Structure 1
Amino acid sequence: MKLFSKTMFTALSLAPLAWILPAPSYIPSVPFLATLALCEEVLFRGTLQPFFQRHLPRKLFIAEIHHSGVDRIFSLTPGLANILTSILFAAGHLFFHPTLWAAGVFLPSLVLGMLWERHNSITLCWLIHFTYNIAFFYRPLLS
């Protein structure tokens, strides 16, 4: 559980990066953001990324770190499946957002993909995705 807490803290600490992008002109409701984040995570992390993991090489690079007492290997670099999923995730945002905003979701998508590879948890990815959305869309109210 300690490793899980550190991972979640690290991922959530990236949420303020949303403030680098231009402020949104609209603020969707909190239930809408929660539902949207869940649907996106089920599609991208729960469906596409596992599909790509089964059909593409596992690692793009060889940089790995071994955590003592943990059976899994956590790669310091995203796998090819994660990169392809993140490209599609960013491309999907082009339908509803300006180009800069769509491109801005690529890095958080890589983080979510690495969390998926490490923890295999839609719930974790959804909570962090939802937190990113709140940080982005509600920042005018937080300022």
Structure 2
Amino acid sequence: MIASTSIEKYRFTFTAFLLTSVALLLPDPATAANLPRLLIGACAEEIIFRGLLQDFLSKTSFCNQGTSQNYFLPSRANVITSLLFAVFHLFSHSPLWAMATFFPSLLLGAVWDRHQSLAICIALHLSYNLGYYYL
């Protein structure tokens, strides 16, 4: 059981990095120059919001109260973290775009709840940022 979970994590991470590498083929010369900023941003946000905040909230009694392992509903910790994630983006985005970050954050939070892997969350976040930034 452990081996299949590890293989699934690596497969998922590899796919996310593969999708991210497609952005390097875009004709915009600023792609390579902005990649470090996007990578640092994705790493910092995932460490803070998933690795620290969501992990902490998931261990509190409020977020664990009456919850079951239902993969179709987001956890309370995920919803709270995603709301704070969207509010955080008000500093750098218009209100509409900042609130729109709530939905990708829910997906990243679901990945965190299922896999507990910052590498996967960072890879997906970077892929999303590259798509948002360059498309």
TM-score range normalised by the length of the shorter chain: 0.7 to 0.9
Q: Deviations over 1:44-90 (max 9, x none)?
A: 000000111111233776573xxxxxxxxxx2110000000000000
Say if 1:108 and 1:51 are closer, same or farther in 2 by CA, change over 3 A. Answer: same
Residue 131 of structure 1, aligned match among 113, 121, 127? 127
Which residues of 2 match residues 1-143 of structure 1 at below 5 A? 1=4, 3-4=8-9, 5=11, 29-55=34-60, 56-58=62-64, 64=70, 75-139=71-135
Provide the aligned length of Structure 1 versus Structure 2: 115
Say if 1:114 and 1:60 are closer, same or farther in 2 by CA, change over 3 A. Answer: farther
Higher helix share: 2
Length-normalised TM-score, structure 1: 0.70
Length-normalised TM-score, structure 2: 0.74
Say if 1:7 and 1:61 are closer, same or farther in 2 by CA, change over 3 A. Answer: farther
Whether the 8 Å CA contact 1:60–1:78 is kept in 2: the answer is no
CA RMSD, Structure 1 to Structure 2 (Å): 2.7
Whether the 8 Å CA contact 1:37–1:126 is kept in 2: the answer is yes
Say if 1:59 and 1:135 are closer, same or farther in 2 by CA, change over 3 A. Answer: farther
Point out where structure 2 has 5 or more consecutive residues left out of the alignment.
18-30
